[in-house]
Amino acid sequence: MQETARSNLICLLLPLLCLSVMGCADAEHVEKRLAEGEICEASMRAHAGSAGFDMSLIASCDMAGSHTEGGNKYQVLRHNGYCEHDVCGSVLMGWFAVNTATGEVHAWDVGEQLLGAPVETPEG
Q: What ranges do the domains of the chain cover?
A: 1-30, 36-118
Percentage of residues in the chain with pLDDT exceeding 70?
Answer: 73
Nearest Cα to Cα of residue 121 among 58, 52, 39 = 52
Residue 98: C-alpha distances to residues 71, 80, 85 (Å): 14, 16, 31
CB atoms within 10 A of CB 80: 16
CB 78 within 8 A of CB 94: yes
pLDDT tier at 118 (50, 70, 90 boundaries)?
Answer: very high
Q: What is the model's pLDDT at position 14?
A: 41
